[in-house]
């Protein structure tokens, strides 16, 4: 069973893509709604809350957990992988994040390659990153892209109001106006260059992908996390097939929350209008 952890329910966009891509596998989603949002928390708090969520999913029987949250990935993923997991007494378990697949796609370089290689070391593409303020401040996308493509240009644009507006179910006109303002600001800062790639670095943003596509230059290639992560996981599971078990007993995906299940069900409608029921877990 594969687990997905998020601070709330933005990660459901990734969860849905994975359940469609791997219909014969079991998935378990955990949203830490009780402690959301993570954006205003310290790094130490984010690491501890993420560790607790991952451990909960391991306890539920998941051997592979994906951090379906850019903030948790940017702040906690490496620390948990390198400093916690080797000493956690969880043999055979692993943690992945949603940043690595996006960096791989934008740089056309495997994550394991952390030094410039030919021809990527001569790649001068401009990469636009749209993300939450906390993810932008972490600089994780800039650092990881430039490790592999040092001549590339990385333009980051914080979108502080967008995820909240999506969760509140704001009208399409409001969402379109927000996206337009963020795209306009980044394109103006990049002028006269035009972004070759645009990364939607928040799992909420696929829900307004059409607005990003409308306002970005036609030549800009858009990278949206659900499908990119699904492609990356498919490749990963080809190399690590023991994580992909065909289990036809209790095959239905399950949704867990640390918050009030009924309240979460009401607010999750913009992400998944016919979502299955959440269950509260302590």
Q: Round the average pLDDT of the chain to a whole number and report it.
A: 93
241 and 206, same structural domain?
no
| Interstrand relation of 197-200 and 153-158 (parallel, antiparallel or unpaired) | unpaired
**Alpha carbon 26 to its chain's center:** 19
Q: Give the containing element (helix H, strand E) for 65.
A: strand 64-67
Exposure on the CB side of residue 46, measured as CA atoms within 13 A: 25
187 and 74, same structural domain?
no
**In contact, 51 and 80? CB cutoff 8 Å:** yes
* Residue among 143, 145, 149, 138 nearest 223 (CA): 145
219 and 249, same structural domain?
no
What is the spatial order of strands in the sheet that 126-131 belongs to?
A: 153-158, 126-131, 197-200, 221-224
127 and 53, same structural domain?
no
Instruction: Give me the number of domains the chain comprises.
Output: 2
**In contact, 179 and 215? CB cutoff 8 Å:** yes
216 and 234, same structural domain?
no
Residue among 56, 62, 159, 202 flagged as catalytic: 202
pLDDT digits (tens, 9 = 90+) for 130-145: 999 999 999 999 999 9
pLDDT digits (tens, 9 = 90+) for 215-259: 999 999 999 999 999 999 999 999 999 887 655 455 566 999 999
Number of residues in the chain: 282
Domain boundary among 181, 203, 224: 224
Q: For position 240, which CATH number holds?
A: 3.40.50.1860
153 and 83, same structural domain?
no
Residue among 56, 62, 69, 149 flagged as catalytic: 69
Domain boundary among 224, 247, 269: 224
Rounded mean pLDDT, 96-114: 96
pLDDT digits (tens, 9 = 90+) for 18-33: 999 998 889 999 999 9
Structural domain harbouring 132: 100-224
The proportion of the chain whose per-residue pLDDT surpasses 90, expressed as a percent, equals 84
118 and 180, same structural domain?
yes
Residue in this structure with the two tokens 């903030």, named with its chain if needed: 71
- Collapse the DSSP code of 63 into the 3-class scheme (helix H, G, I; strand E, B; otherwise coil) and give the result: coil
**What count of other Cβ atoms lies within 10 Å of the Cβ of residue 102?**
28
pLDDT at 63: 96
pLDDT at 275: 77
* Residue among 275, 263, 230, 262 nearest 20 (CA): 230
pLDDT digits (tens, 9 = 90+) for 162-183: 998 988 889 999 999 999 999 9
220 and 127, same structural domain?
yes
Domain boundary among 184, 209, 224: 224
216 and 143, same structural domain?
yes
Whether 93 is catalytic is no
pLDDT at 201: 96
105 and 85, same structural domain?
no
151 and 251, same structural domain?
no
182 and 124, same structural domain?
yes
């Amino acid at each position: 069973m594969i687990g997905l952890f998020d601070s709330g329910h933005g990660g459901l966009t990734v969860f849905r893509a994975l359940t469609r891509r791997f219909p014969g596998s079991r998935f378990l989603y955990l949203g830490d709604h009780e402690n959301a949002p993570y954006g205003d928390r310290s790094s130490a708090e984010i690491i501890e809350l993420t560790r607790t969520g991952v451990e909960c999913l391991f306890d539920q029987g998941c051997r592979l957990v994906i951090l379906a949250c850019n903030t948790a990935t940017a702040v906690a993923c490496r620390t948990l992988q390198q400093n916690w997991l080797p000493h956690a007494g969880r043999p055979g378990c692993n943690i992945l994040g949603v940043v690595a697949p996006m960096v791989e796609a934008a740089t056309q370089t495997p994550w394991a390659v952390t030094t410039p290689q030919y021809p990527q070391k001569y790649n001068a593409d401009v990469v636009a990153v749209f993300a939450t303020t906390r993810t932008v401040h972490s600089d994780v996308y800039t650092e990881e892209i430039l490790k592999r493509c040092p001549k590339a240009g990385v333009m980051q644009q914080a979108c502080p109001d967008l995820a909240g507006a999506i969760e509140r179910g704001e009208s399409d006109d409001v969402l379109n106006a927000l996206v337009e303002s963020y795209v306009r600001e980044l394109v103006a800062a990049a002028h006269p260059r035009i972004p070759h790639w645009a990364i939607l670095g928040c799992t909420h943003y696929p829900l307004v992908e059409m607005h990003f596509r409308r306002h970005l230059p036609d030549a800009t290639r858009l990278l949206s996390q659900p499908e990119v992560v699904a492609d990356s996981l498919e490749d990963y599971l080809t190399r690590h097939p023991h994580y992909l078990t065909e289990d036809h007993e209790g095959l239905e995906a399950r949704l867990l929350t640390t918050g009030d299940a009924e309240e979460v069900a009401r607010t999750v409608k913009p992400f998944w209008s016919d979502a299955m029921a959440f269950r509260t877990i302590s």
